[in-house]
Structure 1
Amino acid sequence: MLDSSPNPCPLCGSTSADTLSHIHLSDVWRAYAEKWATSFSDDVIAKYGNGPVALRRCGRCELEWFDPALEGDSGFYSQLFTGLIRYEKWRWEFERAARRIADGARVVEVGSGEGAFLRSVLPRCSSVEALEKNPHAADLLRVAGIKVSENDVRADALARPTRADVVCAFQVLEHVADVRGFLSALAAIVVPGGEVLLSVPNRERFREGLEPNDCPPHHLSRWSPRQFTAVAEVLGMDLVLVEYQPPSLSHARAARQRPVRTALRPVTGPWMAQLAGRATARVRMPERRHARLAAEGRFAPRGEYGHTMFAVLRRRG
């Protein structure tokens, strides 16, 4: 139904939005405990509460965002990693991004963590710089010989604009409340003719059940391919390309299990339906076929996606 009083879309600023659902934070805390053995202190839970948060979809650019934007702070993140959750050291999009960087380029990465990507391109760049607010990660970057600023990217862009050939932000946008301000800062840092490289989780990927990391306080927005066109329009940049991570073998098989389980469960019961679903998925998606379809980029045209989307935008000269 149409919500009459949402906060403006954090990307395009429109106040026209549908309310898709409400996420109850009590369910998010419970899912963290059950899926990831991660528990949070009473103080952290009290800060964000247990109540509902609206999931909106913008009527103009179709971004989905949580309203209000309950952005995770250092207290939340210090406890997030006490369970089984770990950040990946290397990501699918890093190889795609590295191909865009010419020898001798000046590169700035925002939200670089411990710097796996910057370390990989450091030997062939004239300069690399990280904007990273985590003090521990910033120290590790400095030890690796990487220049680090712990300032907010908006303040940094005002103080030092137009200084990089390539600006990167991987898996950062979905954590940001001020999406438009963040993106505008990236565009200000890059030189005319330079590129902004972005990656975000794809909300159209295969999912089953509540994913607590895809909810506040961790994620504040959910992205589909359509939003990259909106980003280019908002920033006055050219959208060069969008690439899609293929689904993993397990997710490709799970997508093929689901309709079989649904059809057979009323007839055979859940146990037999699950066995039949697994057998069907193994036959329809053997490992070699999955590898071939992934290499040929044939999952995305079928509407099957892995976790991440990667986009390249170019600043007009």
Structure 2
Amino acid sequence: MENSVVSPLTGSKNIAVVETFSVDQIVREWQDLLRIDISSEFEGKDISKFDLYRCNDTNLLFFHPQLEGSPFIYQGLQDGFEWYYVEDKWEYEIALKEIRNSKSCLEIGSGSGAFVKKALGINTKIVGLETSSDAVEKARQANLPVYLMSFDEGVAMLGAQPDVVLAFQVLEHIANPLHFVKEMVRVLAVGGKLIICVPNADSFYKYGGNVLDMPPHHQTRWSLETFKKFEALFPLKLTKVAYEPLNHWHTESWLNENMKFYRNNKWYGNLLFNRVSVRVLRKILNSRMRSIFRGHTIYVSFEKTQ
């Protein structure tokens, strides 16, 4: 273990290596599975592997070394896969109910403004912040208030500290999550809500090595256990937790990851996932009954206490 590696959430060295992924393997899987050549992401960088660590104090999973992906990979995913930027997300409907009586909202990582548009539709005052100039331009063309600016500039546009700050599917991409969360909490009004949605590390994702759930795409992996630790790290109180029902985009991944895990690790795996049961499961997964299974995302809401 490198002596310089610490938890990006606590700064502690109370960490342990969980798994190692080679850069060659990651580049090959992006090419084979996604038809995107990401070799340029590693040019000029002395990186041959990524170690996945666990922070033993918070259960946060994080990668070292840190390497945030360039706009190129996100554009490639957006252009190649309709599931990557979906305008109607499960978490949006949950959040809209929470913000209905709010005075103002600040969304971090708004993309081209899908949630901003929905919030405006219920007469919520909202400003969205985004780092992609292309996404900001698309939002501008749609007359949506999404801007390429700092947190403080976003607050200034609102005219006061927002009583809701939101980040949907953003935190897992950030190499320095401690600073990012501190900034969200700092600009949030006391008594306000911080809403965060991320892939759930305790979902079916935990069974497989999803190439999108590692650098240069994802930097960290989050679970409810980690979010519960926020109360000791920030002036926050956890007030709501929700889990996405299994989405139709993820049915094959859910089946394949569970089947592979149980067949390889449990004595009853081949009995549980046999030829007949897999056919039945596929029918269930392709129907509305799939909602009985837990899906991709965890939604958490906090209240700022001071």
Alignment TM class, shorter chain as reference: 0.7 to 0.9
Pick from 297, 300, 303 the counterpart of residue 311 of structure 1: 300
Aligned-partner residue type, residue 147 of structure 2: S
- The 5 Å alignment of 1:156-195 reads 163-195=161-193
Q: Which segments of 5 or more consecutive residues in structure 2 lack a partner in the other structure?
A: none
Pick from 7, 10, 25 the counterpart of residue 9 of structure 1: 7
Determine the C-alpha separation between the residues in 1 that align with 2:36 and 2:289. 37
Q: Is the 2:41–2:69 contact (alpha carbons within 8 Å) kept by the matching residues of 1?
A: no
2:20 is aligned with 1:25: no
Task: Label 1:109 to 1:154 Cα distance change in 2 as closer, same or farther (>3 A).
Answer: same
Task: State the shift of 1:167 in Å.
Answer: 0.7
Work out which of the two has the higher radius of gyration on C-alpha atoms and give 1 or 2: 1
- Residue by residue over 1:28-50, the C-alpha shift from the partner in whole angstroms, topping out at 9 and shown as x without a partner, is 1111111111123x533314566
Aligned-partner residue type, residue 115 of structure 1: G
Of residues 146-155 and 237-246 in structure 1, the stretch that sits farther from structure 2 once superposed is 146-155
Determine the C-alpha separation between the residues in 2 that align with 1:89 and 1:124. 16
2:217 is aligned with 1:218: yes
Residue 191 of structure 2 aligns to a residue in which SS?
A: strand
Determine the C-alpha separation between the residues in 2 that align with 1:78 and 1:260. 35
Which residue of 1 is the match for residue 57 of structure 2? Answer: 60
- Residue by residue over 1:10-65, the C-alpha shift from the partner in whole angstroms, topping out at 9 and shown as x without a partner, is 1122121001111111111111111111123x533314566111111012111010
Q: Is the 1:161–1:189 contact (alpha carbons within 8 Å) kept by the matching residues of 2?
A: no
Determine the C-alpha separation between the residues in 1 that align with 2:266 and 2:56. 38
Task: State the shift of 1:83 in Å.
Answer: 4.0
Task: State the shift of 1:242 in Å.
Answer: 1.3
Residue 105 of structure 2 aligns to a residue in which SS?
A: strand
Q: Is the 2:155–2:187 contact (alpha carbons within 8 Å) kept by the matching residues of 1?
A: yes
Which residue of 2 is the match for residue 90 of structure 1? Answer: 88
Residue 65 of structure 1 aligns to a residue in which SS?
A: strand
Pick from 248, 256, 277 the counterpart of residue 274 of structure 2: 277
Q: Which segments of 5 or more consecutive residues in structure 1 lack a partner in the other structure?
A: 266-272, 300-304
Residue 196 of structure 2 aligns to a residue in which SS?
A: strand
Which residue of 2 is the match for residue 269 of structure 1? Answer: none
Q: Is the 1:105–1:125 contact (alpha carbons within 8 Å) kept by the matching residues of 2?
A: no
Task: State the shift of 1:146 in Å.
Answer: 2.9
Of residues 48-57 and 176-185 in structure 1, the stretch that sits farther from structure 2 once superposed is 48-57
Q: Is the 2:284–2:290 contact (alpha carbons within 8 Å) kept by the matching residues of 1?
A: no
Aligned-partner residue type, residue 106 of structure 2: V
Which residue of 2 is the match for residue 102 of structure 1? Answer: 100
- The 5 Å alignment of 1:140-289 reads 140-153=138-151, 163-207=161-205, 209-248=208-247, 249-250=251-252, 253-254=255-256, 257-258=259-260, 277-283=274-280, 287=284
Task: Label 1:155 to 1:126 Cα distance change in 2 as closer, same or farther (>3 A).
Answer: closer
Determine the C-alpha separation between the residues in 1 that align with 2:285 and 2:48. 46
Task: Label 1:258 to 1:25 Cα distance change in 2 as closer, same or farther (>3 A).
Answer: closer
Q: Is the 1:17–1:56 contact (alpha carbons within 8 Å) kept by the matching residues of 2?
A: yes
Task: State the shift of 1:104 in Å.
Answer: 5.5
TM-score by length of 1: 0.81
TM-score by length of 2: 0.84
Aligned-partner residue type, residue 194 of structure 2: V
Task: Label 1:47 to 1:239 Cα distance change in 2 as closer, same or farther (>3 A).
Answer: farther
Task: State the shift of 1:243 in Å.
Answer: 1.1
Task: State the shift of 1:8 in Å.
Answer: 2.0
Determine the C-alpha separation between the residues in 1 that align with 2:77 and 2:65. 21
CA RMSD of aligned residues (A): 3.3
Aligned-partner residue type, residue 11 of structure 2: G
Aligned-partner residue type, residue 229 of structure 1: K
Q: Is the 1:238–1:315 contact (alpha carbons within 8 Å) kept by the matching residues of 2?
A: yes
Aligned-partner residue type, residue 51 of structure 2: A
Pick from 117, 120, 138 the counterpart of residue 118 of structure 2: 120
Residue 295 of structure 2 aligns to a residue in which SS?
A: coil
Task: State the shift of 1:105 in Å.
Answer: 2.8
Task: Label 1:124 to 1:256 Cα distance change in 2 as closer, same or farther (>3 A).
Answer: closer
Residue 306 of structure 1 aligns to a residue in which SS?
A: strand
Identity of aligned residues (%): 26
2:70 is aligned with 1:73: yes
Q: Is the 1:242–1:312 contact (alpha carbons within 8 Å) kept by the matching residues of 2?
A: yes
